[in-house]
Structure 1
Amino acid sequence: MATWFITGASRGIGAEIARAALADGHNVVVGVRDPDRVPADLKNSDTVLTVALDVTDNASISPAVDAAVDRFGTIDVLVNNAGRGLLGALEEITDDEARSLFDLNVFGLINVTRAVLPVMRKQGSGKLVHIGSHSGFEGEPGVSLYSASKFAVAGISEALSAELAPFNIQSMVVEPGVFRTDFLNASSLSVAAHRIPDYDNTPAHITLDWIDQANHAQLGDPVKGAALITEVTTSDKLPTHLYLGADTLDRLRVKYQQVQEDLAPWREKSAATGHHDTA
């Protein structure tokens, strides 16, 4: 029995990961902004602890971590799931909108991880699971700032894999495609308040128009996705990246192809920039 600490666990993939971990016999700490919104099956019990946690509020993080340790004695798995999306062409997005997104998706993840790591280092083990996105390896029109935040998550997770290896702490970023959750609802997805008509009928706004059709009709099954995340997390060795969903695998193939196409015509000249002239 391990203890899982999951942020943003009141709904969506976070709630499904909590259910899957419970089904596997683990203790689960459900971190949520509003404990009143926790589903009935995830309310406090012998194996579940609900903690009030707003990852953008540093003052709420340490008490939540302390409550988890007081209750279960340890935190073995941290799942950084809390996050949201932001749509709009980069030119349309204000500084306040961009910073608010990064406060949640990036700095919230950093601060929760920072609070949990002393617990894991002391016990000499732990696993970090960061919920990223396929937009974290491929920038896409209309979600430039969201992609940037998830690129950051991937980079942080990769670095942590190396930094924390001496302490027997592993780090993995999960990069899912689109799953049938509430992520495309207004509660999880913001749209830039300022819309520039010049972008109509261009890729950035085509993404905006796609949302209404796609909401709750996405390809991915969140129950199956959570089950796989849980299975992988309970294995002995975490992969650095867990690519999740058929659509993510398709986009990964496109990304590989793009890398090769970008590299081929400039490979020799790129390599030559590292050579010393002998003349």
Structure 2
Amino acid sequence: MQLTHLFENVSMLKIITSILDLLIVWYVIYLLINAIKGTKAIQLLKGIFFILIGKTVSDFLGLTTTSRIFQIVLEWGFLAIIVIFQPELRRALEQLGRGSLFKRGNSNSKLDKAKLTEAMVKSVQYMAKRRIGALIVFEKETGLQDYIETGIPIHADISSELLINIFIPNTPLHDGAMIIQGDKIATAASYLPLSDSAKIQKSLGTRHRAAVGISEVSDAFTIVVSEETGAISVTYNGGLRKDVSIEVFEALLTEHWFNTEAVKKGESTNARE
């Protein structure tokens, strides 16, 4: 009887430790996802997930060659992951040391779409009339944390007065890109990758090339106000729309910022065409 009771206790202990083991693994995965969320690495993680699915399907269907290719990719993938995710792994360890990895971000922000749109349109229109150069990037699904870290943290509410003041010439923050996350100004004076496309007109400056560059590596929507002409341009999906009217700009802004369907006006000029 005592032996049976002992076996029951051992079995119960094994169940508890197994559950605890599973919870720890899931929590580590959760922390890992939190660490890379908001960076380009999350897109690479999706790619790895699809490779695993492809390997499973190939094995199930008996596709020998395809399955072998996937196997080689997975075998060498470990080293590739260390190289590709090096910045994210470093950031995760730094956050772990500061204890910030365990803090939850504030996701209770409520977007006042009309007020935000009005502030953005008013500031862009003001800067266009006075030929104040500006470069504003809106983060969408692809995280821009790598580029946010190159700038000066702002973390401020959006207002037309603040937007205009940041881009006033000869001020410390006017040079570089402003990055918008949700309804907040995340950073100013950030560095963006420059596009190497030969299709971009040589008359266009660094702001336009940076705007196209960020649209080539992410799904971000970017506004450019030309310092030379005051013209308003936007970039998205690797394409450049130049000299858009304020009405077209507002429609595109609403569509891309809030994922609201808008009526397309004007014609696009794709930087890759």
State which structure, 1 or 2, has the greater radius of gyration over its C-alpha atoms.
2
TM-score by length of 2: 0.22
Report the TM-score when normalising by structure 1.
0.22
